[in-house]
A = this chain, B = another copy of it.
Amino acid sequence: MPEKAYSRSLKERQKRQREELILQCAEAVLLEKGYHDMSMDEIAARVGIAKGTVYLHFAKKEDLVHALLDREMLSVLQMIETAKAMDGTVRARLETILRSLYPGLSEKRDHLLYLLFSESDIRTAMHEKHSAVMYEMSMQVTQLLEEGKARGEFRAEIPTRVMLLTFFSLLSARSYKRTLKDWDIEPEVVIDNIAGIYFRGIAADRPERHDEDEAR
């Protein structure tokens, strides 16, 4: 039954397409209104399908948001992996990641990432669900940070985990966006200086000894 197989894969493709569409619209609503004020009605309306159809793809509102965040995190993970594979100093690669994640700078206006750490509802609901991808993300950056330590770029005394924590903390500055708006300050200047503070903060004292350290 090749027809059926074809048909099935077609259907499958259509299903994925629609799922993608739902996720996109849901993301928009989530970013605009937050978790609680995001209604299934509005999402369905934006996609142009019936509310029931959304439930064919995602059994619960929570599941939809979970899928949303997972997708976002996977894309972030890919970005991290790409950046990690780049040439240059570790700092340069981490800075690339930081700039990609910094809200208001990337093509995508806003990152959902920060939602995971801000809205307590989501945190409660999603609890452990994202552990795998989050762990992977953390591991990638951890590896970079440790490579930086090994290369003598970063201070070895600072626990890598704290470096990691601080790295992600910088992103939550998004919350201050409103405040930033009032100030007439360019986003690029902001991120430049934030990166400056962070990397100077973790930089090893004497970068010239870097070769010696390696040789050691």
Residues of A within 8 A of B (CB): 31-37, 115-121, 123-124, 127, 134, 138, 158-159, 161-163, 165-166, 168-170, 172-173, 175-176, 178-180, 183, 185, 189-190, 193-194, 196-203
Contacts and interface: CB of A to CB of B under 8 A. Distances in A.
A193 B159 contact: yes
B189 A165 contact: no
Copies of this chain assembled into the complex? 4
A170 B166 contact: yes
Contact of A34 (B117, B120, B193): B120
Given A158-B197, A198-B201, A200-B200, A120 B33 contact: yes
Contacts of A33: 120-121, 124
Contact of A165 (B116, B190, B196, B200): B190
